[in-house]
Structures are given as structure tokens and as C-alpha cells.
Structure 1
């Protein structure tokens, strides 16, 4: 199991720790729903959960970091590695498919279709321009 990354101290106040635990478990719940609901992100919620648990419970932080499938992606994010190329392609494809289906089948007027299309374009742009590609980062570090 991976060791927690020091993202700050665990709060000394019991009520603050409890609040961070609630945030962490809410993020885990949303991430769990994202596993089965197309279009709802998964990894970002587990990144938030690990961050919240780093402020409240090192045990739950280790649990998130040790989850199969998601744990390695959360650790990669913390190390600044971004997303694997394959995951970026899949994420962009899912955004395009979900937005296209939503815009064409879910709405009859152009305004909501445009809003869905713009939201999808923002998501795709964010992934392309702001999220590093793991392979590119590793290649740059190897130099």
C-alpha cells in the first residue's frame, strides 16, 4: 500500500477532522457513482477524497491510495504525472459521446444544446491543455 503524501497536517480539532472526513466520504461516494454512470468523472472525486483524508485520517488516505484502478491514478496526480495517454483519449471520447447524445437526444431547442456543447468543449480543452500526459512528463524527467 502506498504511503500518504504530506499535503499538510492532520487537523488537531476534532470537529475540523470530522468535516474533512465527511468531505472525503462524500467524494468517495460521488466517485463510486462515477464508476457506473457514464459522463460522471471518477478519478477527480478520489483525488478530492485523498486530499480531504490527508487532513483528517491517514488510514483512509492510505485506503484511497491503495484502491485498485483508482489509487495509482491518484498517486500519479500527486506526483505531477497527469493522465496516461490512453486515459486522456478515453476521457475525451466519453465527453464527446456523452455531450453529442445529450445535445441531440435530450433537448429540442438550440440553447441547451449549445450549453451542453460548450461545457463539453471546456472539458475537452481542459484535458488537452491543462492535464499533463503521463508519458510526456516521464520522458521529460528522464532527460
Structure 2
């Protein structure tokens, strides 16, 4: 059996987005429920893309559709933690991008969770894969490690 990879640290990631937890994110055990980590990962990536002017969620001709995702949990977060989502890009293909995200509680240097998801860029009208637009490609290549 292989050893588990060590927890990521902040310096492993290129860009950061601060996200606040909400009271409703806590579950009956008093910590952020596992599905919330996926929402934090998705929000961090899309927030970066929207802020860069590269994603128009309501009327853009090209959108990203999540094709695959995963998350490893290392430690619990709970409301009212502030989560600093570190984002990097693991792979850029012809029509797909693999985003990797480390979630860090408050000022901690080690990730409480690390996840990924793969966006496949599709034409909104046909929902068929298209090449990554040039502006988006340039942006995500700068996030690659």
C-alpha cells in the first residue's frame, strides 16, 4: 500500500481567494460538512475566472462544465473560519483544465483539505467541447505549477 501524500502548504499554490464559512455549513458534528468543501473549491476557481473577466456565467458563448472532481480531507473546518483557497493548475489540455485547490483555515500553513476538478470547455449552445479560448489559456497557464 502506498503512503498518503503529505498535506499541502500555502507555498504549493499560486493564487488565493478568501471565502467565509457560514453557520449553515456546519453539520450535526459541529464542523463543515464534506460537501461544502466541493462548493468552496468550485467557488474559488469560478471567482478567479469571473474577476479576470474570463467567465460570463449568464451569457458567455463558452462555459466550463465540471467533468471530474475529488477531495482529500486532512482536518476539520468550522464556522466562523475563514478559508483561504489556494489555486493552481495541474494540466491544460485542448479543451480541459485541471484545477487543484488547497483549502487553508484562517492563518494555518497546512491545508485542511485539498481537491481538484476538471473543467471541460463547451459551447453554451451545443454543450460540445471546444478549444480553450486564448485569453483563458494564457490565464490558466500562469497558474500552472
User: TM-score category by the smaller chain?
Assistant: under 0.3
**Counting strand residues as a fraction of each chain, which structure ranks higher?**
2
Instruction: Answer 1 or 2: higher relative contact order, Cα 8 Å, separation at least 6.
Output: 2
**Counting helix residues as a fraction of each chain, which structure ranks higher?**
1
- Give the number of the structure whose alpha-carbon radius of gyration is greater: 1
TM-score, length-scaled by structure 2: 0.27
TM-score, length-scaled by structure 1: 0.28
